[in-house]
């Protein structure tokens, strides 16, 4: 299996809702990433997990809460988001210390 | 931190012509430079990459060149086809090894 999967594909939520994004890979990768991509912009790194431990947090607001429950799963918990948080959220994975990152298809999030 | 610039922001070529996209980076310690292709609504797909110990790499119609002294690298696509139309992102990996910094992207249109 050489794929990163993400659910849901689309998510619409209100500013008071709590929701979660899910990412899964079965390539044995021990580094996993969350990126945010606004329209016509490049992906921007949010979080990096290495061996299930948070290693990079790019000053992301606390309304985004990542979680890595095991080596195959990565979650992003969302609470009290703002309309400007609407974007495509991409998950990626790689071997720790190796270069190539594999991206999932993304979750398109709309915050009303 | 690393900063990656990319030019041009848009590029239109006739089918069969060549296309060249250039990127510059700021951190001389960066050592890995991938190129991603992203079609509308899809995930970024790695198309080619190069490491700092190599000056050029080719894969069929796609090639990448790296000039470490000048801190720039370029993507070359020959014999372009309409299916090459997409947004192309260059990226540089910082010396820490996990943080990819993406360029702003180039929208390539191949006209039939």
What are B32-76's pLDDT values in tens digits? 999 999 999 899 999 999 998 889 999 999 999 999 999 999 999
Look at B105 and A31 and tell me if their CB atoms are within 8 Å. no
| pLDDT, tens digit (0-9, with 9 covering 90-100), for A34-72 | 999 999 899 999 999 999 999 888 889 999 999 999 999
Angle at B33 between CA B29 and CA B37, to 5 degrees: 155
pLDDT of residue B75: 98
Radius of gyration of chain B (CA): 13
Find chain A residues with C-beta within 8 A of B49's C-beta. 99-100
For residues B33, A106, A89, B109, the Cα torsion angle rounded to the nearest 10 degrees is 60
User: What was the pLDDT predicted at A69?
Assistant: 95
Is B82 within 8 Å of chain A by CB?
A: no
Rounded distance between C-alpha atoms, residue A87 and residue A83, angstroms: 9
Distance from C-alpha of A46 to C-alpha of A64, rounded to nearest angstrom: 9
The nearest alpha carbon in chain B to A10 belongs to: B41
- How much is the pLDDT for A95? 86
Minimal C-alpha gap between B58 and chain A (Å):
17
Helix (H, G, I), strand (E, B) or coil at A100: coil
């Amino acid at each position: 299996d050489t794929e990163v999967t993400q659910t849901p594909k689309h998510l619409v939520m209100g500013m008071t809702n709590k929701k979660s994004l899910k990412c899964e890979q079965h390539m044995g990768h021990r580094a996993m990433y969350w990126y945010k991509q606004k329209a016509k912009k490049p992906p921007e790194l949010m979080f990096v997990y290495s061996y299930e431990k948070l290693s990079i947090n790019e000053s992301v607001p606390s309304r985004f809460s990542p979680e890595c429950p095991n080596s195959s799963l990565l979650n992003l918990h969302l609470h009290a988001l703002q309309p400007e948080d609407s974007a495509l959220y991409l998950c990626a994975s790689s071997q720790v210390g190796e270069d190539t990152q594999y991206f999932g298809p993304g979750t398109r999030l709309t915050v009303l | 931190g690393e900063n990656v610039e990319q030019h041009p922001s848009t590029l239109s070529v006739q089918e069969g012509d060549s296309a060249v996209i250039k990127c510059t980076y700021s951190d001389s310690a960066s050592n890995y430079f991938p190129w991603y292709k992203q079609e509308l609504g899809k995930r970024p797909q790695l198309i080619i990459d190069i490491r700092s110990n190599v000056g050029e790499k080719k894969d069929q119609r796609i090639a990448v060149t790296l000039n470490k002294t000048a801190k720039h690298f370029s993507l070359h696509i020959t014999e372009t086809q309409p299916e090459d139309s997409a947004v192309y992102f260059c990226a540089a990996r910082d010396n820490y090894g996990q943080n990819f910094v993406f360029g702003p992207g180039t929208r390539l249109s191949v006209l039939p």
